[in-house]
């Protein structure tokens, strides 16, 4: 029997890393690292430290290098610019150098947020125009990987959901936390459009690309473009709380004190390349949201 291929996954402690571990662990030998060791399958690594990163990867001798970690809080990125580029851009350059030295492919996770939102929907070939330091730092990583990696996969997720209360720092968990706190009216922006992305579908679609060695850049979001307001409506429907919680639509300015970083009006992506290749495995976001809540939030609301 052939021995399993090996994957080194850096920045694996978050919501996306948890899904990658679950999706890849059965068929591959993994080494999963993060600066925050919050699982027994993680070991410590700060990938900003080039020498430590390089030595750890070389000791493992993987067949692939997956670079997942990044600062994704837009307000943090605006207030901590040097730290943002060190983590979101320079660490990606570190990963490229290491992968090239070992002559292995690299996976880099970008974001739908690299577009300026002047179009309603973006495909894989639309030209990015990042607005803030988070988006700019992520796009700089994209450019570096494309220019310097002979074999790479770059994937652009949208509004990420996954990981549950422990790891989800995004929209769904923020709304769930408000409901848990007893809020019976939710003020939700109705002027931001995007594409939810379930971490498990995302990791599974990456796996198919890796197995087929179809290198390149891919949009990778759940189907069914939507808005924050519509996502909240669907969430309450899944929870059976449509009649008990009121949703009040507001403009983004309503939250400008808490969320002051500029965000594009539309981050809607379509998986054009995956569809043309017949490899789009991303399900409708409503199906994924229902599955996510069922699997990760049992008993959360009491």
pLDDT tens column, 139-169 = 999 999 999 999 999 999 999 999 999 999 9
Identify which of 58, 146, 139, 70 has the alpha carbon closest to the alpha carbon of residue 99.
58
The region, left, alpha or beta by phi > 0 then psi within -120 to 50, assigned to residue 27 is: alpha
Percent of the chain with pLDDT over 90: 91
d(CA 14, CA 295): 17
Q: What residue ranges in the chain does DSSP mark as E strands?
A: 6-10, 29-34, 42-44, 64-67, 106-109, 152-156, 159-161, 185-189, 193-194, 196-198, 216-219, 226-227, 246-250
Three-class secondary structure of residue 194 per DSSP? strand
At 21, list the tokens. 């571990």
Res 239 pLDDT > 50: yes
Give the model's confidence band at 285: pLDDT under 50 very low, under 70 low, under 90 confident, else very high: very high
Res 254 pLDDT > 80: no
d(CA 292, CA 199): 9
pLDDT tens column, 175-208 = 999 999 999 999 999 888 999 999 999 999 999 9
- Rounded to a whole number, what is the distance in angstroms from the first to the last CA of the chain? 48
pLDDT tens column, 15-70 = 999 999 999 999 999 999 999 999 999 999 999 999 999 999 999 999 999 999 99
User: How crowded is residue 199: how many other Cβ atoms within 10 Å of its Cβ?
Assistant: 25
d(CA 11, CA 109): 11
pLDDT tens column, 71-91 = 999 999 999 999 999 999 999
Provide mean pLDDT across the span 101-117. Answer: 97
What pLDDT does 1 receive? Answer: 44
189 alpha carbon, distance to own chain's centre: 21
Residue 216: DSSP 8-state = E
What pLDDT does 3 receive? Answer: 82
Single pTM value for the model: 0.95
d(CA 63, CA 5): 6
Give the torsion sign (CA, 175, 137, 65, 46).
negative
Q: What residue ranges in 18-105 does DSSP mark as E strands?
A: 29-34, 42-44, 64-67
- Residue 271 near residue 219 (C-beta atoms within 8 A): yes
Structural domains in the chain? 6-165+196-225+267-283 (3.40.50.720)
Res 2 pLDDT > 70: no
Res 221 pLDDT > 50: yes
Three-class secondary structure of residue 84 per DSSP? helix
């Amino acid at each position: 029997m052939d021995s399993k291929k090996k994957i080194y996954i850096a920045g694996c402690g978050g919501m996306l890393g948890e899904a990658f571990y679950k999706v890849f662990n059965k068929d591959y030998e993994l080494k999963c690292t993060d600066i925050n060791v919050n699982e027994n399958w993680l070991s410590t690594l700060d990938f900003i430290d080039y020498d430590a990163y390089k030595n750890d990867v070389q000791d493992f001798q993987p067949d692939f290098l997956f670079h997942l970690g990044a600062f994704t809080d837009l307000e943090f990125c605006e207030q901590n610019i040097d730290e943002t580029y060190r983590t979101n851009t320079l660490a990606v350059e570190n990963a490229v150098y290491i992968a090239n030295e070992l002559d292995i492919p690299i996976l880099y996770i970008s974001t739908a947020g690299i577009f300026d939102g002047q179009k309603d929907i973006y495909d894989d070939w639309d030209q990015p125009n990042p607005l803030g330091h988070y988006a700019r730092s992520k796009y700089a990583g994209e450019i570096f990987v494309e220019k310097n990696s002979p074999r790479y996969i770059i994937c652009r997720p949208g509004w990420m959901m996954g990981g549950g209360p422990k790891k989800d720092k995004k929209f769904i968990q923020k709304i769930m936390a408000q409901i848990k706190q007893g809020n019976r009216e939710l003020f939700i922006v109705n002027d931001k459009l995007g594409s939810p992305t379930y971490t498990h579908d995302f990791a599974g679609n990456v796996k198919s690309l890796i197995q087929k060695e179809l290198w390149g850049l891919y949009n990778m979001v759940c189907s069914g473009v939507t808005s924050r307001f519509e996502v909240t409506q669907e969430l309450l429907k899944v929870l059976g709380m449509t009649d008990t919680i009121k949703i009040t639509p507001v403009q983004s300015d309503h939250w400008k004190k808490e969320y002051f970083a500029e965000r594009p009006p539309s981050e809607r992506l379509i998986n054009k390349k995956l569809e043309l290749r017949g490899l789009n495995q991303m399900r409708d976001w409503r199906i994924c949201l229902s599955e996510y809540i069922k699997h990760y939030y049992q008993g959360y609301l009491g």
